[in-house]
Every structure is written in C-alpha cells, then in structure tokens.
Structure 1
Amino acid sequence: MERSFFPTVYQFRSPLSRALPIETIEDGQRMFKIEIDLPDFKPEDVNVTVKKGEVKIDAKCEITEGSSKQFKQISYSYSLPEDADLDRVRSLLKTDGRLVIEAPLPAIEAAKENREIPIKRE
C-alpha cells in the first residue's frame, strides 16, 4: 500500500482571500464580477463604494472569544471596466461569508453565425 505525504485534497485558503475579477454572463446579461471571502464579517461591517470607475471595499470587525479580542480590517480596490454601468453596481454578502460585487456590462453584438456568403462566378 502506497502512502502519500500530501493529502489527496489539499486546499489552502487565506481567511480573507479574494479572487480575480471575472467577466461572466448571467441570464443573458454580461457582468463584471468580484468575489471576496469575508468570514466573520456582517453586512454592517462592510462598506462598498463606487467612485470614478473604481469599486472600493473596506471592512472592519471585532471578534470576542472568551477574554480575547481579535480585530480584522481589510481594504481592497478594483478598477471597473470603462463600459460598466456604475449606477447599477450591486453587492451582496452571502451567508457563507462571500462578498459578491457585480457591475452590468453592455451586451456584445451577436456574431452573425449563420450568414450566407455569396458565391462569385468567373
């Protein structure tokens, strides 16, 4: 029987990890999306602002366990795409601790996939 030094599933996540922004399509709408893990934070601990094409996330919380206190504070800033609809940027702190920020993007003109090509005769 062969034994491996490393477990078969190894996952390292910082308690405050963040993912790279992505562009996605949800329900036919293009979106610029940011997801950040914010365990231990409540919605009132998090402040998300949009100004001059940039989204800024600031969060602070205090965790008390017995006689000890722990303070957490983060600050992230992301540039939004030039064509993002800044008036419709929204944020949601999910129950699993993920902060999701979405900015709608304009639709891409559908490519003409089935267009006919004329045949020239000589």
Structure 2
Amino acid sequence: NCNNLFKSLAAPSWFGFMPTPMFVSFNNGAMNHHGKKIPKWKVSMDVALFSPAEISVSIRDGFLEVKGKHEERPDQHGFTARCFTRKYRLPGDADVTKVNSTLSADGVLTVEVPFAEASAPPAVIIPVKVMES
C-alpha cells in the first residue's frame, strides 16, 4: 500500500528526531499580530555542532538558505561528518538588502529580515470637485 510506504518514509528514523519541512512558507505580505505590524521576519536554529566558519547564509530566488558542513572529526562514538541545508521562503515584501544574522555563544543562529517600508508621503491634499446639477 502506497500510503503506508509514504508514512514510513515520513516517520522519524530514530527516537527524538523531528524532521523539518524543506520549505516553510509565510504570508506574502506584511505580517500582523493582534493588529500590530510585525517589523521583521525572523528564524532561529541550533547550529552548536558547527563553527561560524562552517555555516553559510544566503538568499537565492526568494529563499533564505542556511547551510552547515563540517568534515569528519572524532566524537564520543568514533568519527562523524555532518552537513545540513535549510530553506525558508521569504515574504514578498522582505527587504533582502538588510538581512542580519547573529550566532549566540550557545550556538543559536538567528536570521532577521526586515520588511520593506512603504514610502507614503507625509500628507496628501485631495481637491474637492464641485459637480453642477
């Protein structure tokens, strides 16, 4: 049965592992929370197993792409090599020229992308047209 095959492929292969989706989509517009506009799009992830030189952050075709890779090195069970790629679809009004990424001392990478500011004029005067009957 194909459904059982897909369920087994989607199931975690070891205890505690939770797969993340390849693409996370968000609203293509300014995000709001309880009537207040959210000023930026933000994602955080644990990358403590990688050094800063082993992590790359880039934007391609409207997606934020985070990659990490380290060569084989010893650990408590022998040797291991790791790599990952995460992709997130950015909202349509994200200002990709102002991306900020930070790595905390405990290995949490946070990437923030502000939303583009709509440049509205400070005041607009609209003339009133008088219609003759």
| Residue 94 of structure 1 pairs with residue 104 of structure 2 | yes
Residue in structure 1 matched with residue 54 of structure 2 by the alignment: 45
| Superposed CA offset, 1:51-86 (max 9, x none) | 222111110124423782111111110010110100
Bigger helix fraction: 2
Residue in structure 2 matched with residue 78 of structure 1 by the alignment: 88
Provide TM-score, normalisation by structure 1. Answer: 0.60
Runs (4+) of structure 1 moved beyond 4 Å?
12-18, 20-25
CA RMSD of aligned residues (A): 3.3
Bigger strand fraction: 1
In 2: Cα distance, 1:77 partner to 1:88 partner: 18
Residue in structure 1 matched with residue 114 of structure 2 by the alignment: 104
In 2: Cα distance, 1:81 partner to 1:57 partner: 16
**Contact 1:17–1:36 (CA<8 Å) still a contact in 2?**
no
Q: Give the number of equivalent residue pairs.
A: 94
Identity among equivalent positions (%) equals 24
Which runs of 5 or more residues in structure 2 are unaligned? 1-14, 119-133
Cα drift, residue 37 of structure 1? 1.0
Which runs of 5 or more residues in structure 1 are unaligned? 1-11, 109-122
| Residue 32 of structure 1 pairs with residue 41 of structure 2 | yes
